[in-house]
Structure 1
Amino acid sequence: MWHTIAATSLSSWCSFAPSSLYNPPGLFYASSSPHPAPFISASLAGIEAMARFSSRAFPVGAAIFVCLLLAVADLAASSNQGSQEEAPRCRFRRLSANRPFRRIQSEGGYTELWNENDKQFKCAGVAAMRNTLRPQCLSLPNYSPQPRLVYIQKGQGLIGMSYSGCPETFHSGEEYSYSRRTEEREGPREEEHERSQKRDQHQKIHRIRQGDIVAFPPGVTHWCYNDGNEDLVAFSITDVNSQWNQIGPTPRSFYLAGGPPKESETMEPARDIHAVNMIRPFDAELLATAFNVPAEIVRTMQREDERGLIVRVKKGSMEMMRPTEEERERRERDGRREEEEEVEEGRRKRDNGVEEIYCSSRIHHYLDNPGAADVYSRQAGWLHSIDVFKLPILRYLGLSAEKTNLRPNAISSPHWNNNFHTIALMTRGEGQVQVVDGEGRSLFNDRVREGDVLVIPQNFAIVSRAGNNGVEWVAFKTSATPTRSPIAGKASVFMGLPAQVIANAYRLSLEQAQQLKYNREDQSMLFPSGRASTAD
């Protein structure tokens, strides 16, 4: 008798378990559509009938088994609905080259934003931004829950990152005096100020320059200072769909200082990128106790600030420990040898705690280096890739980058990207680009020029040709270990197919199929402008 009662109770529990226990809100993606696929509906109905029957005819163990089947079917329905909702995200009738749609002016420069709600950026799961810092100006300390990869388009400067839990191993050259509040352990609370001499300690500061790729891990506070004599321009891609991000697919930056710039008729507000001093809302007395400083200092930190995201600094006020000029010259001098050493280091490196992963990790790599190119052709140009093997920290960002230089009228082989989306920034010159999908449509067939940003979805095929003055671009990739499939040339898809397969697939003669395979057999990815004439 107790078997029947328990089984009946268990069957009742199964009626709500799949939606409440096995699929709690937020754990699995579920479509808003109330109509699952017909075969899923039929399966659910059948299993529910089995569950009701088990309460009368089977013991508790059988009911548990049927209940688990019901949960699995419910998860399959949710997954199916979710995939149906997600599928249209990367379906396009056409692609377009993009330009910034918003500009935020600050005291020391400006920030340009591309429209993150554009369908192409939504497909790739990224947001694009460009910061321009005037000389002697500082981008204020901030952090983001999403990983970011930055390309330095112009200028030079200093970047610092503050990793929680890592030691402050660098010291500034000058000593300075400071006040420290002490508290008596007995008797009324009193404040006294003790004068001390101390050298400033901080984490490593990195020298960056034009052509560098810089990795910004999620949650790490960073700042940038332009100590050069020209503008520092940095273009960045943020992976809003990263597994590190738990707060929604919108690019967000949290600032520890500053505030939104004063609005004007020609500028939209900066509140949507959270350009608000996070220190301001805190209780001043509570924060003063946390820092062990007078409350006046905290109130000064909390003052309203309309300078924006980038501020001017007084001359001489940014003297600190910085990378030596000798180190920069050594980087320029070593070229290929240094890169080979870094690749070998990346292959040997394994996870060995916070010290190795973050504290001592390299965060930047020189991308504009033809001497270290992965593909080089004197007639066609060069291609230089940066992945997890050359910059190991990219493993935790899930991003990588590549610089391509095409000489006048040269061609980049038609290819598709196996495991990533591409976001390409045109950095010099102009050229012709064509992108096709798998449904027989040409989605983009137009000229691109310096400043354009083009998104190429995963598995869409692309071919590029330089203009009369050549063209260059930087490609950001949504994978730390990207692979692609060239259609023509050495190590291409056609080279791997038997000539007979090609001939029958396209109704060609065997001779024509062999021409497709072997006419570029000694050239990889980049082809010069000339084309050998062959008999029909």
Structure 2
Amino acid sequence: MATKVVVGILLCLLAFKSLVSGVQAPERHRFREEAQQCRLERIQARLPSRWIESEGGITQVWNEANEEFQCAGVAAFRNIIRPNSLSLPKYHSAPMLVYIEQGEGFLGLDFPGCTETYEAQSGPFSRSSRRIRGDKEEDKHQKVRKVCRGDMIVIPAGTVQWCHNDGGQDLVVVAFMDLNNDDNQLDLRVRSSYLASGVPREARRRAKADDLVNIFSGFNPEFLAEAYNIPLDLVKKMQEERGDGLIVKCDEEMSFMTPEEEEEELSESPFSRREEDSNGLEETICTARVQHNMNTQKEADVYSREAGRVNILNQLKLPILRFMGMSAEKGHLFANAEYNLHWSMTDHRLAYVIDGEAEIEIADDYGNQVFKERVSRGNMFVIPQFYPSFARAGQQGFEWITFKTSNQPMKSPVVGYTSLFRALPLQLLEQAFQITTAEAQQLKQTRNQHTFLFPPSTSTREVLLEKE
């Protein structure tokens, strides 16, 4: 009798728990489900929808409210930073992957809770460096990274970032944001919080840039003066939203301490730091590697002498991506080469065209063609999860970067050596497609010498030879 009572109580508890879960779960996930309704009748190749002119460059923003961007939960922007100009310090609510499309410069990332690990000494024992001006005061700061074309940089959510162009040409930086990442608990909007300047209120209305604000402007000046223990005039300068915008022209040549210029012993090691200055994070995020160059041919993960190459960046190459849920791929197809028909099993993809042209076809998971366009430099388009896609390069080749919403992405190819057809029994193919044994064998063995990159077909080669 007692056993029956206990069992009855347990069943009641389980039923109550299921009822509560059934009521709460839909409400808890309602926003993400509504925001990610991927009912796309048509995907478009898009150019930036907003251009924000600044004294030192241009900020171009893709509209994250477009339905395919909402489906994937992603956003993107591009900064064009002119020589000796500075993209002002800011942070974002979502993690980012940043690709250096052109030029070179310095990138600063200030990780919360991490101490200054680079120190410029002044006095008789300091060593000379052409990166440190002698008339400057003693300075300490976190690591400043030299970046150049092909570099991919990982920026966690909330990390303060800035970028300076010290080269002779424009520095072009393309950024991808994963708005649907677990690190972002807000909505699927780009939220950029600037620690200096920002777009003035009137200019924000004209540029529809309500998200590009100076965070200090929302505080009482007297409160900030007391909190920082600084004069009120200095606080007003911190709060000022100047007309020079988000990228400013520097009054003088900027100088930063980097290991390339300064002796290694001047870079303070976490192990030599005084114990009272240590916060226990020095061997984790504070020293994590966040930079990887994707332009190196010798590190290509997929390579074909006739078709091109693909460089993959995932959590195995850059361990910090394990905690970010993101990855990337950079590809280069030769003229008229093809990228195998496939779909992604783990992630949405945001593709950006760096150079050249290609004809892209995408179908949805219902078999409807949702994209068939010739894309060119500067175009950006979304490929949702499980949507099959195919690419054929133009006469000048095709170079692109793909940002992905998974730290360990996986593809399923439909053609080639690892094709799903090769794994199916021959007789099954005969019955499924109502074809002969010879046709089924042809379907299994086609392109069996290739994986993802296909050289131009024989017919294409003949057309090219005729044109020559």
Q: TM-score, normalised by structure 2?
A: 0.84
Q: Which of residues 516, 519, 530 is equivalent to 2:443?
A: 516
What residue in structure 2 maps to residue 76 of structure 1?
Answer: 22
Distance 2:215 2:249 in 1: 20
Alpha-carbon deviations, 1:164-199, whole Å to 9, x = none? 221211123667xxxxxxxxxxxxxxxxxxxxx952
Question: Would the aligned equivalents of 2:35 and 2:70 in 1 still touch at CA under 8 Å?
Answer: no
Q: What per-residue deviation string (whole Å, max 9, x for no partner) do you get for residues 437-483 of structure 1?
A: 22221111221111111101000101111111111110100001101
- Does the 8 A contact of 2:310 with 2:332 survive in 1? yes
Pick from 154, 159, 179: which aligns with 2:102? Answer: 154
Equivalent residue, structure 1, for 2:296? 369
- Following superposition, the deviation at residue 67 of structure 1 comes to 5.5
Q: Which amino acid aligns with 2:74?
A: V
Structure 1 residues 158 and 88, CA gap change in structure 2 (3 angstroms): closer
Kept in 1, the 8 Å contact 2:153–2:290? The answer is yes
Whichever residue aligns with residue 163 of structure 1, its letter is F
Q: Residue 476 of structure 1 aligns to a residue in which SS?
A: strand
- What is aligned with 1:330? none
| Closer, same or farther: CA 87–257 of 1 in aligned 2, 3 Å | closer
Please say if residues 192 and 213 of structure 2, whose CA atoms lie closer than 8 Å, have aligned partners that are also in contact: no
- 2:118 pairs with 1:164: no
Gaps of 5+ in 2: 124-135, 264-278, 461-468
1:336-375 to structure 2, matched below 5 A, reads 354-375=281-302
Cα distance, 1:323 vs. partner?
4.7
Would you say 1:278 and 2:215 are equivalent positions? Answer: yes
1:85 shift after superposition: 5.4
**Bigger RCO (CA 8 Å, 6+ sep):** 2
Does the Cα contact within 8 Å between 1:261 and 1:307 map onto a contact in 2?
no
Mapped partners of 1:485, 1:506: distance in 2: 20
Q: 1:519: Cα distance to partner?
A: 3.0
- Secondary structure in 1 aligned to 2:439? helix
One-letter amino acid matched to 2:240? R
> Structure 1 residue 261: deviation in Å?
4.5
- Give the structure 2 partner of residue 494 of structure 1: 421
2:394 to 445, 453, 467: 467
Q: Secondary structure at the match of 2:319?
A: coil
Contact 2:36–2:71 (CA under 8 A) maintained in structure 1: no
**What is the CA distance between 1:376 and its match in structure 2?**
0.4
Give runs of aligned pairs for residues 393-404 of structure 1, distance below 5 A.
393-404=320-331
Which residue matches 1:41? none
Change (3 A) 1:85 1:279: closer
For the residues of structure 2 that align with 1:110 and 1:219, how far apart are their CA atoms?
A: 23
- Are 2:383 and 1:456 equivalent residues in the alignment? yes
Verify: 1:302 aligned to 2:229, yes or no. Answer: no
1:300 aligned partner, one-letter code: K
1:142 aligns with 2:90: yes
Q: Residue 362 of structure 2 contacts residue 383 of structure 2 at CA under 8 Å; is this kept in 1?
A: yes
RMSD: 2.9
Find the partner of 1:256 among 195, 209, 218. Answer: 195
AA aligned to 1:278 is I
Structure exhibiting the larger radius of gyration computed from Cα positions: 1
Show the counterpart of 2:126: none
Deviations 1:384-411 (A, max 9, x none): 1000111111122211110111111111
- May I ask how many residue pairs the two structures share in their alignment? 429
Q: Determine which of 258, 263, 266 is the counterpart of 1:322.
A: 258
* Contact kept in structure 2, 1:105 and 1:261, CA below 8 Å: no
Partner of 1:339: none
Match of 1:199 among 132, 135, 138: 138
Instruction: Give the drift of 1:102.
Output: 1.0
Given the alignment, which residue of 59, 64, 67 partners 1:111? 59
Amino acid at match of 1:102: R
How big is each residue's C-alpha offset from its partner over 1:88-142, in whole Å with a ceiling of 9 and x where there is no partner? 7111112111111111111211111111111100010011111111111111111
Gap regions ≥5 residues in structure 1: 1-57, 176-196, 328-351
- Identify which of 165, 180, 201 aligns with 1:226: 165
- What SS does structure 1 have at the residue aligned with 2:310? strand
Aligned residues of 1:433 and 1:445 also touching (Cα < 8 A) = yes
Deviations 1:275-325 (A, max 9, x none): 222223434444344334444433332334222111111122x21203527
Q: CA 1:265/1:64 → structure 2, altered by over 3 Å: closer, same or farther?
A: closer
Kept in 1: contact 2:197–2:238 (CA 8 A): no
- 1:435 partnered with 2:383: no
With 409-418 and 391-400 compared, the bigger mean Cα shift is at 391-400
**1:382 — aligned with what?**
309
Q: Measured at CA, do residues 500 and 218 of structure 1 come closer, stay the same or move farther in structure 2, by a change above 3 Å?
A: same
Aligned to 1:130: 78
Q: Is the 8 A contact 1:433 1:448 kept in 2?
A: yes
Structure 2 CA distance for aligned equivalents of residues 89 and 208 of structure 1: 38
Once the two structures are overlaid, the 10-residue window that deviates more, 79-88 or 487-496, is 79-88
Task: Find the counterpart in structure 1 of residue 131 from structure 2.
Answer: none
Residue 187 of structure 2 aligns with an amino acid whose one-letter code is G
- Quote the residue 1:96 is aligned against: 44
Deviations 1:483-523 (A, max 9, x none): 11111112221222222222222122222222222232221
Structure 2 vs 1, CA of residues 326 and 430 (structure 1 numbering), >3 Å: closer, same or farther? farther
2:357–2:375 Cα contact (<8 Å) kept: yes
